Structure 1
């Protein structure tokens, strides 16, 4: 029993090094950003499946705000129906995300782009994979082999790489101050240190609270802005590893129907931004309403004094970088709940590392 989940936990602990290694080669990011600038795409489309889609969603905010190019993300399974009809040569750019570089739908999307002379970037940990060989550019993830079926460090590397690329692309955006880009880049480079500092206290705190969720069957994960993507990834991990039926919502959307399901039998995980954020009141006021339904609330937040049953204190970073920090306690929580239930998060039921059919 003590050995189940050891691969997942080990790979969670490796994430600071993975981020550092993935973003440290400035030359790769400079070269790709320069090529994108020469292309001058009117639209960037990100595509992927599962955690790779969620990583694309988390990066979407930075690409729109800092790179200044309209960007959207779509599941690779929906790519043929939503994106193929509108992709145009020299006007659009495709970024295909797959840790293995073998996901059929993601590879198919890249092949379609190449067949139409549309530039494409492979974001993958395997530079010799079918995806990498198909795309005209490769953004490598320096992760080492990920042995747990549940993606943790590869998810983190995907976000780090795409955010690093967005910051570099910002150098070509006249609307963005160079001092702001420098500040963002320094903050990104500091993320591994922040995760390392919080890792041991996090594991201790979550080990104490996780038994309270052993019998949880239903959960809602609420976030906003970039942390809506964090909520999506946390919900996926709760389903995969802990076998909890979990749904993610942008916090304001939760009021439009799903809030009626919040009761004393429901686990609520709220990702609450710093009080200086424009999103703070939206998320916090919702959780205060939900609390009146006697729902168990776990808050992940840089705020110290919020009146919820459980709080996990997080560092205060740029909002755009928060997905790199806030997913870590969610990963550890899933690992611990799974072990408490006797499930092995390294090998979730019916799952494989690479989905070979879609």
Structure 2
């Protein structure tokens, strides 16, 4: 479905490519998934560490919940500068180290993967550019299969980062429901794209917002983090993400200043607690709208058949929302001031 606006940004065009990207990812990554699953069965890491920046780090938040809930594998986020700036060589022997990057070009991520591999970790790169430094540094690679991504605001590469490791989890847990959900996910995302007009309508009510708080719990929290980043990046809105559980521990004070809320509403084990938190906020006078597979959402996304795949549809629906919000504000989401496609840090 095309936007009714005369200008159709690359951000939205690339987001609409996601169903084809994920179908290709599943088809072309089958051999790599089998190799990695076999290695993890044989070497059984005691814990996992993720290495990423920006949108890729937000994908790692979702992956953290996936690994912890499905494999009971504790996951920590590694601060790249601990090694690259402070010179520490962490003891990661036997750990599963997962690095996520669209470009695979950021030196700090690459150097941390090299350090981890030299120290005896199982290193895995989720990367779009298959001949990148990061792909060469890691022992295993799960390509994102996005093709070229030209928009400064990553969309399809973030969504592909959410799914790339899920077939490995399905293989390790013999989870047929997850495998079936992955197989059907491209069709569910095609259904999500049919919500573009509704996403634009929801975005219209935020066109004058200068600040926005984004809430979620559990598997959707990494989507909330990504949403806050994209609102800054494409719409110039000062947005911050909070756990719906933590919001009442101080940040709720901001409601007195009239700040609007955007919540992600899941249909998984976090649903009941999240819905209660949102009800309490509305009673407190909060201006709250929600996106997600929960039936009462303002923008209801398709349920995909598994808790691990539902956030993908929610994130895609949000990208439609954000792209149209930028257009409603008279902005070009493909040309955010001061930003470029690839940022290299040390």
Same fold (TM over 0.5): yes
2:125, 2:134 within 8 Å by CA — same for their partners in 1?
yes
Q: Give secondary structure in 1 for the equivalent of 2:164.
A: helix
Residues 128-277 of structure 1 mapped to structure 2, 5 A cutoff: 128-170=131-173, 178=174, 181-200=175-194, 202-263=195-256, 265-274=258-267, 277=268
Q: Mark the CA change 1:30 to 1:60 in structure 2 (over 3 Å): closer, same or farther.
A: same
| Structure 2 counterpart of 1:6 | 9
Matched with 1:55 is 59
Q: Is the 8 A contact 2:56 2:100 kept in 1?
A: yes
After TM superposition, give the deviation of residue 263 of structure 1 in Å.
4.4
Q: Which residue of 1 aligns with 2:328?
A: 340
2:313 paired with 1:325: yes
Q: 1:52 to 1:83 in 2, by over 3 A?
A: farther
**TM-score calculated relative to the size of structure 2:** 0.91
Figure out how many residues of one structure are paired with residues of the other and give that number.
341
In 2, Cα distance between the equivalents of 1:35 and 1:287?
Answer: 42
Query: Structure 2 CA distance, aligned partners of 1:56 and 1:244?
Result: 24
SS of 1:262's partner is helix
Give the distance between the partners of 1:316 and 1:44, measured in 2 at CA: 28
Contact conserved, 1:100 with 1:126, CA < 8 A, in 2? yes
**2-side partners of 1:146 and 1:120: how far apart?**
25
Contact 1:222/1:249 (CA < 8 Å) preserved in 2?
Answer: yes
1:37/1:84 Cα in 2 relative to 1: closer, same or farther (>3 Å)? farther
Paired with 1:134 and 1:124, the residues of 2 have a C-alpha distance of 11
Instruction: Give yes or no for the alignment of 1:299 onto 2:287.
Output: no
Structure 1: gaps spanning 5 or more residues: 171-177
User: How big is the shift at 1:109?
Assistant: 0.8
Q: Which residue of 2 aligns with 1:313?
A: 300
What's 2:33 paired with? Answer: 29
Going from structure 1 to structure 2, the CA distance change for 1:167 and 1:68 (only over 3 Å counts) comes to farther
Contact 2:192–2:317 (CA<8 Å) still a contact in 1? no
Query: CA 1:268–1:65 in 2, change beyond 3 Å: closer, same or farther?
Result: same
CA contact (8 A) 1:121 1:137 kept: yes
Residues in 2 aligned to 1:304 and 1:357: alpha-carbon distance in whole angstroms:
42
* CA–CA distance in structure 2, aligned partners of residues 328 and 222 of structure 1: 17
Deviations 1:159-203 (A, max 9, x none): 110122222232xxxxxxx3xx01111012211101102312x11
